[in-house]
Structure 1
Amino acid sequence: MDSVNDTFKKFGLKTMLMLSAFIVFGLTGCVDDDDNVNAPPTSLNIVTLAETNDQLSILASAIFDADLGGTLQGTGPFTVFAPNNTAFNNLPDGTLDNLSSEQLAQILSFHVVEGEITASDLSASQTVETIQGEELLVTVDGGTVTVNGSAVVGTPDVEASNGIIHIIDEVLLPQEFREPNIIDQAEELGNFTTLTSAIEQTGLTSTLQYLGPFTVFAPTDAAFNNLPAGLLNGLSDEELAEILQYHVLNGTVLSTDLMAEQAVPSLTQEELFITANGGVTVNGSSSVATADVEVSNGVIHAVDQVLLPDAYGTIVDAASKRYFFSTLVSAVADAGLVDALSSTDANLTVFAPTDEAFANLPDGLLGSLTNEQLSSILQYHVLGSEVFAGDLSSEQSPESLTGEDLFITAGSEGAFVNGSTEIITTDVDVNNGVIHAIDGVLLPNVFLDIVQIAQKDYNLTSLVTALSDAGLVNTLKGDGPFTVFAPTNQAFEDASAVIESLSAQQVEDVLLYHAAAVEALSGDLSDGQTIQTVQGEDITVSIDGQGNVTLNGSVNVIEVDRQGTNGVVHVIDGVLVPPSFN
């Protein structure tokens, strides 16, 4: 008896359909009217009809050998997925002869469903219970009906007096007789009872039995037991299905196929982050305890944690699972910000630098920071509200948690923060905000020189260009200290006629007239004060009763005290022209 079972397991049905989605599958039957031209009259019952059909003579003989003739000649109605002679002949030699009548009856009963199901009754995907007790997966795609992923209905809707026959090109094997598939193997191993129950609850069992190939990262019962109390029971079936599908990849991926690092899409299209370095780890902390359990429709890797999609975790959770945020995660811990970024009461936006971004910082900078300085830098990457990529306009300057603005632009060439740092991955949606990955570390003004402060503001690009053209960048990157009154782009546009009439030397003099060789914060300014510029002439300061600052009687200071490493920038709404030019 064991040799019979082994024979069938060896030649079990392998599911060969590749899918584009995890739940909706193409299932259709070749419904060709010509196939039914010679169908016997419906006065014949299923058994008699099989006896009179040249394609079904082996099936008819097997029905009597299995002592099922009485059942299938009964009132019914029944739906029979009837293997044709070719299907039986494709079995290993002697297979039928080696079966007991009880085994043969079990196999044939696996082809029979109570009730009459025509091809037109079928939807894209459904499971139907056989009289043997196990289920079949019946799918329809583009006119082709397929059973259990590989048995194709060649002739549908052969009507009988007590039901209907669909002729198929393979013999369907129940679990006892086939090579184990993902579900069969998980049940046999015994330590995946919670997983298989959850799969059954969400209607995914037949998919993982008969379709594929798939790679399943299968949480053990212990992994489910380690979930927060009440989490599993609090999920809807839809949410549970999403979590389960997040553990599955299309295709067969063995541990030997893995590189050191890879991000691969699950059936939900959300990525899993897998590292292989001695052992295999998924999403940063879930270890593969048993790898490469190969089955007929893919491979199982047992994991010691349940993998949760981003929506079920916090900012820290999402960052921790991604191997390219390891420096950021360590820095958040060092700065004591884990709790703040893990709070589900928060609703934050994080611009998250990659490991490569941190590596591109000046040598020694990161290691030289105090925890307070590190905290300030990290908080400068965080907004106090949720901003998705679709919320961005062409220009905006939201306030970070430090109170200092970020300058964000978005257009056809991408989205950038502070002038040159690109947003390379958007909208990692988590339960307390959203993450956007960036290719640079954003530094607050206190870590930047005067020129760098200007460079990150999209309102000061004309000034930065003019300084470069005049060869003054290195001057203002010097030790200082400096005070720079920085005209906006609009200010340069309003003064374009005047500036275009000047020589290159005069333009340089105009620019130097906006800089003083002293650091003068807004609190240092007084009404009637004069400030000598690097150009040599003075600027006159006026302050009214409301504290508004005006320079030379007409140019307003609209933002003050962008203080950097070598001075301070005050933004102004006009271009200052040296008095001697008049």
Structure 2
Amino acid sequence: MRALKILGLCILVILASTGIAAGEDDPLPPDEEAGNLTIYDTLLNNGTFTLMVTALNQTGLNETLSAERPYTFFAPTDEAINAYSADILNLLLKQPDLLKQLLNYHIADGTYYAADLEEMDTLQTLLGMDVAITVTEEGIRVNQALITQSNITCTNGVVHVIDAVLEPPGTPKYTIYQTLNRTGTFATLVTALDVTGLNETLNGTEVYTVFAPTDGAFNNLPEGVLDALLNDTAALNEILLYHVVDGFTTRNGLVDAGTMWTLQGGTLTISETDEGVMVNDARLTIADILCRNGLVHVIDAVLVPPEEKVVDVVAEPTQGESPLTVQFSVNGTVENITAWYWDFGNGFMSTRESPLFTYHEAGTYTVSLTVTDDTGQTYTAVKPDFIVVEEAAPEEMSIFETAAADESLATLVAALEMTGLNETLNGTEIFTLFAPTDEAFAALPEGALDALLNDTAALNDILLHHVAGGEYLAADLIELEALEMLSGKSVAILWDEANETLMIDDARVTVSDVGCTNGVIHVIDGVLQMPEEVPEETPEETPEETPEEEV
């Protein structure tokens, strides 16, 4: 029955589908050729029925009305179709599948001339519903439509021209907004629509599907929430738009779709359970209330848009002198992140969760981060002009002075002073110092540090194994496999790209490129050990041959 109520809406899809204005031709001429054509060809050959012909083509009824079986066809002119309601027209544009059923309301099985109709009160159509036949002073009426030209004989029946579209019983009279306003159970929703101006949207001609919470649903909101929404138009508008879907979707269409995009931009999840059809966590209590501009589905709870998931970039510091080492991390509401892709704005990237990155050149850098969660959804944050790297101020301290100013290098400084290497690293000759922290010295085997401090020569050798002649920045070291130290021995250099870690033998560089007046310092988390001497093998002496005694 619900389908029958909306059939009267469908004829107007013809107008929008063709874009043809109503013709100005005269009605069908009663010429000799008329009786030699089928119903379809008769309409086709006359410019008064261009919209109807297009509709018949779209629905396949052109073939029905071209066959041998006799029919009676009540044919609205283009002018009659153009005079029909514009809001129902837009509704029908969303439901062209109903067009065929509506056209069947204009067709009767068999041939009925005007004289036959005058003897009848009703006539059953192919739709299965009757049209009323009445004889008035003006002529014969089919429902409210007047037959303006009758008895156009065709090879497979007869055509009667009518001045209005036949509208089946049950055609809706009210818009979505009017329907809600006429029903006492949606007073809160109507008030909210009035406050936001959405009443005009749902009172127009565009077609929508609305999920309508009852007054009881609004009353079930936590205390104070409704009043807060009514006083916050922007927030209320977002809530209401989350209840509106573009187009015409019935209950069955909702279930088949499973997900619906709302005008708010979020999605609704539709599921069919033992309790009925669920829209997110709200139950659909009444479905498919037909309106002139769409459908209303009644629900028992207010739909609340989910919190928008966002990702953000955190960095410390964001400004400083070159070289600037920045610790990056992720912030935001995205959960279960499985992949990270950082772009530091200078051609370097990272896939670590919280990368530590050093900027060596002055400039302003835009940083972007794209993350992927466990569902495969990606989220991107872009921070324009986020990192500001300034030109480094002129370096004023030597390597030794810089180390002495760092509280974490106290043990190293004391050792340099004991061996006199403090003077070497306080001069003008250029060096690179790999500086173990106090924690690194404390991690030596028990007694090893005390033994070194009591053996100046051994301590001097160890310290010289931490110093290289010349200046080697981190970018230089990455390109090397080994570096010769002042000890005369070499250390191995390894750049672990996966972990973005620079290793010197077994020690990790924790702070790189500390500039000094006479070189550079790299802080390391271990004490570099001198490689063990491998004694050279002494060839065995070959005993001298004793000359044989002369016989």
Do both share a fold (TM > 0.5)? no
State the TM bucket, normalised to the shorter chain: 0.3 to 0.5
Whichever of the two has the greater Rg, that structure is 2
Normalized per residue, the structure richer in strand is: 2
Q: TM-score, normalised by structure 2?
A: 0.34
